[in-house]
A and B are shown apart, each in its own frame.
Chain A
Amino acid sequence: MPLPSYTLGVIEASAYAPEVFARGLPSSLWSEQQSEGRVEPTGSVAAVASPLLSLQGIGLSFGGVVALADVDLSVRPGEIRAIIGPNGAGKSSLINVISGVYRPDRGHVLLDGVSYAQVPTQRLAHLGVARTFQNLALFKGLSVLDNVASGLAYKVRSNFAGQVLGIGRSRGEQRDSLSRADQVLEFLDLTAVRDRLAGTLPYGLQKRVELARALVAQPRLLLLDEPMAGMTASEKSEMAVFVRAARDRFATTVVLIEHDVGVVMGLSDRIAVLDYGRKIADATPDEVRNDQRVIDAYLGVASDNEDGAGI
């Protein structure tokens, strides 16, 4: 990003902030609880819990291309939240904003009540956020076990000299991270490939190892960028089971981006739909399925206007 627009973004974001807080935050919280009360009468615990993650008026553009425009999103603790949309709708941009890889031009990301203009990427793990990548981002030269154990690297406090000589707290740390990595491998049914180099595994397994690496730190918020892309149908449903099991076991909140609408409908508690960088729907799977704008933009049925009149 060129420097001038970067600084401009800062000014705009800070100038924008009071307005967002005055207008966006209280009212969105209010409407959140209102709608929750309406659509989910049983979810009373979730309804009173404040959001773990919330996006307020996020705008992001690359040159003249608007990737995200005024996107609000609120994720409650413990829910599985899907973000769907056609190609180029801004889904990956949104995940990159949440994880601090991109700095939004305007708007704020609130993590656990703390507001960020840009989420500090290097502090992400300490904030309890883990993510996976759309294109595999495993460390190919490390074994599966070491890949997963590296998910705990942010906690390591021993220095290299202690590790080389095996003194101080390094031994305990090493034992602890390997045993926790082993537990996660067992949980995701990866023990059989524990000592293989990650780069030699088939694609579907690599995706699962990435999930394991993200889970080993027991994050409060887990961001999954197309966790099922390129998988076969059976691999997808297997992955869906793992995602749900991970949420249940580690009490993790999950935000996931996915193309396969069928899998998402069965897996998610709520779904946000993006189209051309705007959020066009945000509701339960059933409501999204029947939302006319979502059908038009994404799910697709025969068009009413087959002649193309007016185009």
Chain B
Amino acid sequence: MRSEFERRHPGVRIQIENIPGEGQYVPKLLMMFVAKKAPDVMHLDASYASVFIDNDLLLDLTPEIKSDDSFRLDDYFTNVVDVARRGDKLFAIPLDFTPIVLYYNKRLFDEAKVAYPAKGWNCDDFLAKAKALTIDNHKEPGKKQYGMHFINWMPLWIPWVWTEGGDVLSPDGRHAEGYFDSDKTIRAVEFLASLITKYHVAPTHSEAAAAGVDLFRAGRAAMHIAGHWMIIDYRSDGIDFGVAMLPTNAASPKTVVYESGLAINRSTKKRELAWEYVKFMTSAEVQKVRVSGGLAISAQKEVAQYYASDEQERTFLNAVEFASGPWGARVEPYAVVEDLGREMMEDIVNGTPVPDAVHKTCRLIDLELSQQ
């Protein structure tokens, strides 16, 4: 695709710089900005977008969009576009995205004679199903089947907090007090933790680690919360799976959407060309090829529809309507907050009472935010 762009723009050479290593992309890219060696165009992920947007490193793309008749922002999912928005400024054009959804293993549901998740199901329905799908294996305790596979990674469990009406931060993103320690958040965390500690329908971290396999993929967990990226593995494993929205206790379901877009360096010397490249890469033509692997869903409505051939894919698209971007797109030190959330959950599973752990973490989050 790069060579296609080069072919259409004679004399232009696109140099791709990959940054390997988990967690290395943001520090490396920031250092390139500090050294004034940052690229003209870069990937911007929702989960850390704020670090770049709120430090004034990116170009507001609104003038480009307004003056370019060949570009229509309406072609993209609005909820996905808005992740990189600040008021009337827009800092990235989305490439692709995934809402976080619930996967379920149809075979395990059928075997346990449990009905598949229905539209508008709530947390009680979920718990009842999870209990029915949990099978203790007395001969081999290590081979127990779980109702749900739980991964203690805050980006995956934040929708549970939202669905109870709780949240992590105040709407302006400045503090956690009154939100993270609200009754609703505590109730959500209590529910999540009880799946592991009280009902044992989900494995503890060490139980999951000791299994040595992905419990859902191994057919030993009936449900799993994840994004579109897992679909590749599930399909290649030949798992007969369904996709559902997370259960909800609120009026309408809620989830989080993670997106990845292209942004332009504010101090680029090739503004027009950079915009051409962003437009090209996010165009329907290129997107059709880019997302064919199945890692994520194209942010172009047309392309997304093109691939939404089955029920699973359609559930993902329907989820967009109920999805909002992560705090990381709006709050700079949010990666630290997510670490604190993971540690809190670990403490709770290890026996710390939920209210104590939540209040302690709430204080730590506010301490962190005050240092900005």
Determine if chain A interacts with chain B: no
